[in-house]
Amino acid sequence: MAEIVLQRVMKNYGPLYAVNDVSLTVNDGEFVALVGPSGCGKTTTLNLIAGLLPMSGGDIVIGDRVVNDLDPKDRDIAMVFQNYALYPNKTVFKNLAFPLQMRKLPKDQIDQKVRDAAKLLDITHLLERKPRELSGGQQQRVALGRALVRDPAVFLMDEPLSNLDAKLRVQMRSEIKRFHHNLNATIVYVTHDQLEAVTMADKMAVMNGGFLLQYDTPANVFANPINTFVASFIGSPAMSLIPLEGVTSGTDASLRSPEGWELPLSPMNARKAASSTTSKIVLGARHSTLKLHKTQVPGSVPGKVYTVEPTGDVTFAQVFINGAVVNISVEPSVVIHPDEQVFIEFDQERMHLFDAETTMALQAA
């Protein structure tokens, strides 16, 4: 396996930058997910690593080689695509053997590599079948196996689970995670599904508009989003964001709503609010950090229930607070109804404050 280093990588089409000054390091044996909405630049970044697109600027290093000018076949990478790209008229065995035959390996070596890969991925019993006789999950294993037999330095995966149904996606997430664990492989994985990134990756690179916004462990990205985009993109349900105004009175600070209520801030949060470039502040909170009350309690603010979504072990309520829809999780035993007046209590230790002008997370001075 090998380390991957991107240094100020650029890809532009005239005035449009699909990838804009992206720098990151994927350590040897690391699983890194590139995540973001459609058009954010994640697939373009993967294709630049693979050599499928020419770069407009920057450097890409795989192992100890600068690969800017190398063809894809010379970069020691293997790709797994969204559509699996299997040969429909070849058996699974021949699909797995094909890249080795292109390298003119001896027949006995090809046979051994194919059977080793099939055993690792539990597809030995499928070797004589053709792709049309396989389920989506089995085809995905074959696509992984075809990448595996090449023994590459790096695996590049472009939304490999997006064609599967929800149940099979969950199963295949576990399969790919185990694949990574067994091989200690260096994997760069593109997905628009932030849940895939959070559950599978050692690190995640959140992209938007061609820019790399945050690169960290999923736990740190979830707990400390760098701006409102990352906060609202990572997490399911997404972090709720409420636009408010910061006000001070002596040493005390609070957030004021146009509806008239105020939320007093703890000393730590007051220092964060003081670092804002504007009085406009966005309050962010995860559903699990909020408490719903039927009557007002100290530190709570009024809201009106919009919808109620029972999911079995937890119920999600969407509550209007100052015009924003706020997600809150409650016990299934809590009975609430649309249009009901409720009061929401915020956890001062786990709330987030963002500068409404710059969208960046506020830090205590």
Question: 22 - beta bridge partners?
Answer: 9
Express each pLDDT in 95-131 by its tens digit: 999 888 888 889 999 999 899 888 888 889 999 999 9
Does residue 232 contact residue 238 with C-beta atoms inside 8 Å? yes
How many whole angstroms separate alpha carbon 60 and alpha carbon 69? 10
Residue 86 pLDDT class (50, 70, 90 cuts): confident
Least confident of 113-117, 171-175, 189-193, 194-198: 171-175
| Co-location of 267 and 164 in the same domain | no
Q: What residue type is 351 in one-letter code?
A: M
pLDDT of res. 365: 73
44 and 107 part of one domain: yes
Give domain status of residue 52, yes or no: yes
Q: Please report whether residue 72 resides in a domain.
A: yes
Domain match, 257 and 224 both: no
Last residue of a domain, one of 207, 232, 257: 232
% pLDDT > 90, the chain: 70
Q: How many CA atoms lie within 13 A of 17 on its CB side?
A: 15
Q: Are 244 and 228 found together in one domain?
A: no
- pLDDT of amino acid 252: 84
Residues 10 and 174 sit within 8 Å (Cβ to Cβ): no
Task: Kindly indicate the confidence band of residue 83, based on its pLDDT and cuts at 50, 70 and 90.
Answer: confident
Q: Are 203 and 62 found together in one domain?
A: yes
When pLDDT is cut at 50, 70 and 90, the band that residue 81 belongs to is confident
- The pLDDT mean for the chain works out to 92
Split into its structural domains, the chain has a count of: 2
The pLDDT, as a whole number, for residue 163 is 76
- Average pLDDT score over residue span 120-148: 88
Q: Once rounded to an integer, what is the mean pLDDT over residues 243-259?
A: 89
pLDDT value at position 348? 94
Backbone dihedral angles phi then psi of residue 321, each to the nearest 5 degrees:
-130, 115
Could you tell me the pTM of the whole model? Answer: 0.88
Residue 14's identity, in one-letter code, is G
Query: Are residue 249 and residue 224 in the same domain, yes or no?
Result: no
pLDDT on residue 183: 83
The tens digit of pLDDT for each residue in 46-78 reads 999 999 999 999 999 999 899 999 999 899 999
Question: How large is the average pLDDT for residues 266-290?
Answer: 94
**Domain enclosing residue 204, as ranges:** 4-232
If asked whether residues 178 and 210 sit together in one domain, one would say: yes
Domain-terminating residue out of 184, 216, 232: 232
Whole-angstrom Cα distance, residue 211 to residue 42? 9
Q: Is residue 365 part of a domain?
A: no
Last residue of a domain, one of 205, 232, 259: 232
**In this structure, is residue 218 part of a structural domain?**
yes
Give me the pLDDT at residue 273, please: 93
Answer yes or no: is pLDDT of 44 > 90. Answer: yes
* Residue 340: predicted pLDDT: 95
99 & 164 share domain: yes
The DSSP bridge partners found for residue 308 are 317
With residue 327 as reference, give the H or E element that holds it: strand 324-330
User: In this structure, are 259 and 161 located in the same domain?
Assistant: no
Q: Do 144 and 180 have their domain in common?
A: yes
Residue 69 contacts residue 175 (beta carbons within 8 Å): no
pLDDT at 316 over 90: yes
Q: Is residue 192 part of a domain?
A: yes
Across the range 244-255, mean pLDDT stands at: 87
Task: Please check whether residue 243 is in contact with residue 339, taking contact to mean a CB–CB distance below 8 angstroms.
Answer: no
> Per-residue pLDDT for 136 more than 90?
no
Domain harbouring 201, CATH code: 3.40.50.300
Within-domain flag for 360? no
The CATH number that applies at residue 345 is 2.40.50.140
Per-residue confidence (pLDDT) for residue 102, from 0 to 100: 85
Shared domain for 131 and 274, answered yes or no, is no
pLDDT beyond 80 at 321: yes
> Is residue 362 situated within a structural domain?
no
- What confidence score (pLDDT) does residue 121 get? 83
pLDDT at 85 over 90: no
pLDDT at 218 over 90: yes
Q: What is the distance between the alpha carbons of residues 17 and 57, in angstroms, rounded to a whole number?
A: 11
Instruction: Determine if the peptide bond prior to 237 is cis (ω within 30°).
Output: yes
pLDDT at 61: 97
Please indicate, yes or no, whether residues 200 and 90 belong to a single structural domain of this protein: yes
| 323 — pLDDT class (breaks 50, 70, 90) | confident
